[in-house]
């Protein structure tokens, strides 16, 4: 596919996402199934444009003066991909492209960038500004702009199987570097527009259980919990088991760690991950056996409760609906923090 067709495809997918409130990952997957001619390189570029557009919705739409999926994609080409207007004009008129620019679109895209309100420059809902400013103060825009960047791939070394140096050497071909805060973390930079996504889980080191994909913040949460070898620990909202595995490694596989989640579907992946990791101290308590939690005490209880989802803003396109733009989600999950007039 040429870039013209890729942009048209991104607009089609953005229409599906914004019109039906669908997760971007599902919309992209379904589009790919319906368009088998699109290769992996095509899907990567289309997905990158979709994700960049979702993360930078306010500034992209403001550049075109419209909030339609077409405006969102065109604005992203200018503001994030920094494409010259002449190139955008040309691709829009190509076969399978999104259609020629209107006079209004040309004028908007050609206009010099002016000062933008903070909620536009930072790409967040205007009604959330009081809460966000209370948290970030004068650094609000810079903090929020950082959350608009493509997220890197973070990994946690499984010390039950290998030291970090071994995993770094195995992933050196991807430019893997130690994380700045987690002593077990490894970071691989986000790929560029023309580079394919890296499938680290296809690497032999992952199959050997030497590392798991886990954001550095989640790794730090396990360190802050500070479980000790020999303790009895409960991971109450274990989900797929990322923190359970991190806690088990910090416990040096000594003691008892109970992993529980009330959603059996979220808990399902934990079994394969436990086997791969070599963690033998983890006991999985199924969703329908929560009554057993009342028997016996725990030295430590870790609760990663459902929340607003704001911690995943950088990945809003790939793992969930574009939650930062959906007021009803915030109000239903965290109503006490949202003073909306």
Return the closest-CA partner of residue 148 out of 126, 185, 120: 120
pLDDT of residue 341: 29
pLDDT of residue 193: 78
Return the closest-CA partner of residue 16 out of 39, 34, 2: 34
Kindly give the confidence (pLDDT) of every residue in the chain, 341 residues in length, as a single tens digit, with 9 standing for 90 and above.
Answer: 999 999 999 999 999 998 888 888 889 999 999 999 999 889 999 999 999 999 999 999 999 999 999 999 999 999 999 999 999 999 999 999 999 999 999 999 999 888 899 999 999 989 889 999 999 999 999 999 998 888 899 999 999 999 999 999 999 999 999 999 999 999 999 887 777 778 999 999 999 999 999 999 999 999 999 999 999 999 999 989 999 999 999 999 999 999 999 888 889 999 999 999 999 999 999 888 888 888 778 999 999 876 556 666 776 544 444 556 665 444 444 444 433 32
C-alpha distances out from residue 159 to 152, 183, 249, 271, Å: 22, 11, 6, 19
Give the CATH H-level superfamily of domain 226-302: Vaccinia Virus protein VP39 (3.40.50.150)
pLDDT of residue 36: 92
Contacts of 247 (CB under 8 A, 6+ apart): 222, 225, 227, 233, 235, 257, 302
pLDDT of residue 333: 47
The CATH code that applies to domain 153-218 is 3.30.70.1170
Ranges of each domain in the chain: 3-116, 153-218, 226-302
Do the Cβ atoms of 233 and 242 come closer than 8 Å? no
Structure tokens at 268: 């399902």
pTM of the model: 0.80
- E-strand ranges in the chain read 153-157, 177-178, 185-188, 211-213, 232-235, 256-260, 282-285, 300-302
pLDDT digits (tens, 9 = 90+) for 248-260: 999 999 999 999 9
pLDDT of residue 308: 58
pLDDT of residue 24: 87
- Identify the bridge partners of residue 256 per DSSP, sorted by sequence position: 232
Give the dihedral sign, CA 28/29/31/32: positive
Q: List the strands of the sheet with 256-260, edge to edge.
A: 282-285, 256-260, 232-235, 300-302
């Amino acid at each position: 596919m040429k870039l013209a067709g890729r942009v048209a495809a991104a607009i089609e997918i953005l229409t599906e996402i914004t019109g039906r409130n669908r997760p971007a990952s599902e919309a992209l997957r379904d589009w790919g199934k319906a368009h088998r001619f699109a290769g992996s390189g095509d899907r990567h570029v289309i997905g990158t444009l979709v994700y960049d557009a979702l993360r930078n919705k306010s500034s992209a739409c403001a550049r075109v003066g419209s909030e339609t999926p077409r405006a969102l994609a065109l604005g992203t080409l200018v503001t994030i991909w920094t494409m010259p207007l002449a190139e955008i004009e040309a691709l829009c008129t190509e076969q399978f492209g999104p259609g020629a620019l209107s006079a209004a679109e040309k004028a908007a895209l050609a206009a010099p960038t002016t000062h933008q309100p903070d909620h536009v420059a930072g790409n967040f809902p205007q009604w959330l500004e009081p809460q966000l400013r209370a948290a970030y103060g004068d650094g609000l825009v810079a903090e929020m702009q950082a959350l608009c960047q493509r997220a890197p791939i973070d990994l946690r070394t499984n010390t039950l199987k290998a030291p970090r140096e071994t995993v770094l050497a195995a992933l050196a071909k991807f430019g893997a570097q130690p994380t700045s805060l987690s002593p077990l973390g490894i970071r691989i930079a986000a790929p560029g527009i023309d580079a394919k996504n890296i499938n680290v889980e296809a690497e032999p080191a992952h199959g050997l259980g030497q590392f798991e994909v886990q954001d550095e913040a989640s790794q730090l949460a396990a360190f802050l919990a500070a479980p000790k070898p020999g303790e009895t620990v409960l991971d109450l909202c274990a989900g797929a088991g990322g923190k359970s595995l991190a806690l088990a490694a910090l416990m040096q596989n000594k003691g008892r760690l109970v992993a529980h989640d009330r959603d059996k579907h979220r808990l399902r992946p934990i079994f394969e991950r436990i086997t791969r990791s070599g963690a033998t101290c983890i006991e999985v308590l199924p969703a329908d056996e929560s009554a057993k939690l009342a028997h016996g005490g725990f030295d430590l209880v870790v609760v990663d409760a459902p929340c607003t989802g704001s911690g995943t803003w950088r990945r809003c396109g790939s793992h969930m609906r574009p939650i930062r733009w959906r007021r009803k989600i915030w109000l239903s999950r965290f109503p006490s923090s949202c003073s909306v007039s």
